[in-house]
A and B are shown apart, each in its own frame.
Chain A
Amino acid sequence: MRMIPTTARTLSDDMSKRVLSLERLHVSFFTDAGELAVVRDVSLSVSAGETLALVGESGCGKSVTALATMGLLDHPGRIVAGDITLGDDVISGFSEPQMRKVRGARIGMIFQEPMTSLNPVFTIGRQLAEVLRLHRGHDDRAARLASLALLERVRIPAALERLRQYPHELSGGMKQRIMIAMAIACEPQLLIADEPTTALDVTIQAQILELLDELQKDLGMAVILITHNLGVVAQYAQRVAVMYAGEIVEQAPVTELFADPRHPYTQALLQSLPGTVDPGRQLNVIQGTVPTPREFPAGCRFATRCGEVLSRCASDVPPASRHGGNHVFSCWQRMESTS
């Protein structure tokens, strides 16, 4: 896949179309050893019809952010500060019964592992029907008809037979299509796709992403695409938020981020892609690994691995600074060099 996006779609930062916004979200895990600030000060928003890509290394808080949005954080994780707003509702203040009406109905979610995301002891038809019964109040017949329509919508051939099959009889790509069908069953405002193609082989990946793209256009959903594949980001997202160690270090429209990355981490990520060095040469790497939450520096969390670290980086949290209209990043070094 090409790195530079071929089609830069228009960017909508229209407040009225805003579907989801996280404002200064902090998530901590309360372990025996004390509080671990896993997600710090994350703010982002997505509008209807827009795809926001959330990228970053494993363990940088992408999934935790997604689960917090769904209200699915398990003990010992908890939202300690910040608001999550879906449409006009502040869902971070919702009770569990209220959240149950949001999940599956207003926010759909698909997961990384289609192989294990379906219950092995029930047929596809029963699992699809369950969602429709729960949120739409369909009876058996209506649920069945709606399931058939959904399977056709996600391009599953021979839908009638599929309804009677068990998950182990289907391929990974097929299962992911079914997960998508379940997630969009109630036409949610927002779809969170947590690495939807990581477990699939490359040809299927493209099909699934095309399908998601098409469904998004049809339904006008907002999509949060969690991935670490920058090629996917370039092709399918309009905006990108780069996460590192539980913080968003840079957020920008996709063309701008690829053309003019500001944060050293984003730059290093783009540098480490194959194609930046001549064939036969060693690829660029970012030295070291993401620190564990216990070892996060007090200031900029990238300070331990940054090549251009300043003295204040380790102790002071860099503020978000703007670069152009929609490009936001948090770095002491770049802030000073631009201003």
Chain B
Amino acid sequence: MHAQDSSTGSLIAHTESPWRLFWQLLQRDRLAMAGLGILLALAVVALLGKATTEWLVIFDPTTVRLVDKFRAPLSEASALLPDADRPLTGVYLLGTDELGRDVFARMLQGSFVSMSIGFVAVGISIAVGVVLGGIAGYYGEVRIGPVTVDTLIMRFTDAMLCIPIFFLILVVVALLPASIYNIMIVIGLTRWMGISRFVRAEFLSLREQDFVLAARALGLPAYRIIFWHMMPNAMAPVLVTATIGVATAILTESALSFLGFGVQPPFATWGNILADGKNFIFDAPWLFFIPGFAIFVIVLAFNLLGEGMREALNPKLQRR
């Protein structure tokens, strides 16, 4: 300590931010990097899917071709088909469904819908969870009437946790039109409780740390201390939960769609492709297995990445 303190610039090491340290640790985890790779690839696919099925229609997910029902993957389009309805290169990469729609095109369209539902829903739940958890943790002892802010917020969180979420979502979706946005909002607003508990717990310990007192002693306003100084220090568990949460949200959407309460046709999502396919599981198994496999891969990738991040953020494993 002394040597460094009294010496001049010669001993200054190269600067390492906590985030770079985290990234270095994460890079050592092959499974997590595989997960990250898959997710990046799927994100590209989803964006391309949005572009090529809606803006510049190269793969048309809505064309109905009754002559080409239940074509297996990689089969060629029928010669009877009018030119305008032929798929690109004349081959159905992933086959067709009971209406002769191109499954590859539908999967492309669905990838964007499924992933955006996952990310937006988690974004909403992070926003709600972080704000509520942060306020509960920072202003914990402040009283509003007979109860503390902490009690008020955390008991509300507990109450939300007591409701069987899936059935709550079903009720809401049954009452509201089942648009993509409503589904995003409903999933987001019913999944923030874990995050708010995490953030509150982190804030309870951060609040006692000297740098928070020091920030107050410098005259910083409370919102800046909460969101600028404390929040980045509380983000590690939130990041992990959020990553795994995206997978859960995608699964929830798939389950809703599977039950017929999710995103409605003609919009394709992986969940409703799967739901349509289940009726033909023996005649046209690809209709069932392709979306099922896609969901499996994306959920697995998110979980691998999430676990890897949890490991990399674990202070006991850092600086090995």
Contacts and interface: CB of A to CB of B under 8 A. Distances in A.
A102 B219 contact: yes
Interface stretch (B10-18, B24-32, B54-62, B172-180): B10-18
B10 to A, nearest CB: 9
Interface stretch (B85-93, B209-217, B270-278, B281-289): B209-217
A241 interface: no
A17 interface: no
B82 interface: no
A72 B216 CA distance: 8
A118 B214 contact: yes
Interface in A165-223: 165-166, 168-169, 171-174, 179, 182-183, 201, 203-204, 207
A207 B7 CA distance: 13
A113 B13 contact: no
Contacts of B158: none
A178 to B, nearest CB: 11
Given A161-B9, A164-B15, A201-B2, A103 B214 contact: no
Given A171-B1, A172-B1, A120 B15 contact: no
A322 interface: no
A166 B233 contact: no
Contacts, number: 107
Contacts of A70: 217
Given A173-B5, A174-B4, A166 B229 contact: no
A204 B217 contact: no
Contacts of A72: 213, 216-217
Given A116-B210, A117-B214, A157-B8, A103 B232 contact: no
A117 B1 contact: no
B15 A165 contact: yes
B141 A121 contact: no
Interface residues on B, range: 20 to 34
A220 B82 CA distance: 91
B219 A135 contact: yes
B8 A103 contact: no
B141 A75 contact: yes
B220 interface: yes
B233 A119 contact: yes
Nearest to A112: B210
B163 interface: no
B213 A204 contact: no
Contacts of B162: none
Contacts of B146: none
Contacts of A166: 15-18
Contact of B218 (A123, A134, A164, A174): A134
Nearest to B6: A207
A330 B240 CA distance: 59
A131 interface: yes
Contacts of B6: 207
Nearest to A118: B211
B220 A134 contact: yes
Nearest to A126: B228
Given A72-B217, A101-B219, 20 more contacts: A74-B141, A76-B141, A104-B219, A109-B214, A109-B217, A111-B210, A111-B213, A113-B210, A117-B214, A118-B211, A119-B211, A119-B229, A157-B8, A158-B12, A161-B9, A162-B12, A171-B4, A182-B214, A201-B2, A207-B6
Those 7 A-B pairs whose CB atoms lie nearest each other, nearest first: A158-B9, A104-B219, A103-B219, A104-B218, A173-B5, A75-B141, A109-B217
